Amino acid sequence: METVLQAKSLCKTYIVNKRQNNVLKNIDLVINEGEMVAVMGPSGSGKSTLLYCVSGMDRVTAGEVYFCGRNITELDDNSLSELRLDEMGFIFQQMYMMKNLSVLDNIILPAVKSKKTKESRRQITDRGLALMRRLGIIEVSGNDINEVSGGQLQRACICRSMINSPKMIFADEPTGALNRSSSDEVMNELLSLNNDGTTIMCVTHDPKVAARCSRVLYLVDGGVVGELEQGHFKGGDKELRDRERYLNNWLMEHGW
């Protein structure tokens, strides 16, 4: 199985008021193609910082990060930006969208800016519409972003994350701003993408979200203190309840 992401002895340190804050401490991490990995831990444990560092959104203090065999810690800012645009997709709790663009135009914007292919604007638009149709939001393609629900907007963010056919999606609390019904809808869409082979790393505080993932990493004070292999989620309410129950017991053993 191909390794998509690997971190070796990753460290991240911030200097705040002349004091050193070691947020990540010698983290080793491997994520293989087709995995859906949840990152959990208490507030301040370094979950989001880890996601930002391994995706090249933030520079590491020490260590190395390899994405599809390429050492991204050696890349300059322009090369990193191109890599994130072409080969990575991002979904955040806060659904960042351009207010002056329609939902569809927000979705296709990364493809318009990318040099990955030489598609025409019509071809890019058709792919954007196909993604919206797949995620059940085709009816809001021409809407402004303030004319759709939170669940619809987050599904639009998923479409945007997929528009350049990325090797991997990085999701930081993708359901954190949603109610339970919308959260379940978004997770079902992410699971569908994962079933199709998309590799996903998901930072979450929600055991219901993590229970759907194939593997869970638990961070405390910037280090990985636990790892739970759950296997691929096949679907069904009973399996989900069983996985949630087992995961909750495991989390409590680790001080959740």
pLDDT tens digit sequence for 91-118:
998 888 999 999 999 999 999 999 988 8
pLDDT band at 192 (very low <50, low <70, confident <90, very high): very high
- The owner of tokens 């065999």 is 69
Q: Is the pLDDT of residue 49 over 90?
A: yes
Tell me which of 21-35, 65-79, 84-98 is least confident.
84-98
pLDDT band at 235 (very low <50, low <70, confident <90, very high): confident
Backbone φ and ψ for 134, nearest 5 degrees, come out as: -60, -40
pLDDT band at 41 (very low <50, low <70, confident <90, very high): very high
The pLDDT > 90 percentage for the chain reads 85
The span from the CA of 28 to the CA of 223, in Å, is 9
Q: Is the pLDDT of residue 178 over 90?
A: no
The span from the CA of 129 to the CA of 55, in Å, is 27
Task: Tell me the one-letter amino acid at 68.
Answer: C
Looking at the chain, the number of H-run helices and the number of E-run strands are: 8, 10
Higher pLDDT, 20 or 160: 160
The residues, ordered by sequence, that sit 6+ positions from 110 with a Cβ below 8 Å of its Cβ are 85, 160, 163, 164
Ordered by where they begin, the domains of the chain are: 3-253 (3.40.50.300)
